[in-house]
Amino acid sequence: MAQRIAIATGIPSVMGMGVFVGSYLLVSRQILDVPPGVTLATSGAFFLLGLAGLSYGVLSSSWETGPGTLLGFEQIPLNISRIRESIKGMRGENAGKP
């Protein structure tokens, strides 16, 4: 799980920071005039992609003792159903309490 999170979150986050560096270099060397809004939107998109990568890393993890597959796509529906069952269980426990 930690490996998937590091890759799926780390790469987009580094790219999001790299957008600022790249924009600075392009503007300071007068190669291209990059509007600040474009820089902000592009880096924001990469950070959102990193947030999606964090969710993917957690949901694709295998909680079994054996090793899972490389990408873990088969674990996502299983883990989502486990989350839903847990939420239903919490709602059922708190139904009678004020």
Nearest to 20 by CA among 59, 46, 2: 46
Q: What is the pLDDT of residues 61-86, one digit of tens each?
A: 887 777 778 888 888 999 999 999 99
The answer to whether 51 and 40 are in contact (CB under 8 A) is: no
Q: What are the sequence ranges of the domains in the chain?
A: 2-94
Q: Which two tokens stand for residue 43?
A: 């880096």
Mean pLDDT of 5-20: 95
Q: Which residues of 2-18 are buried (b: 16+ CB within 10 A; e: fewer)?
A: eebbeebbeebbebbee
Q: Is the pLDDT reported for residue 97 higher than 80?
A: no
Residue among 48, 53, 62, 60 nearest 7 (CA): 53
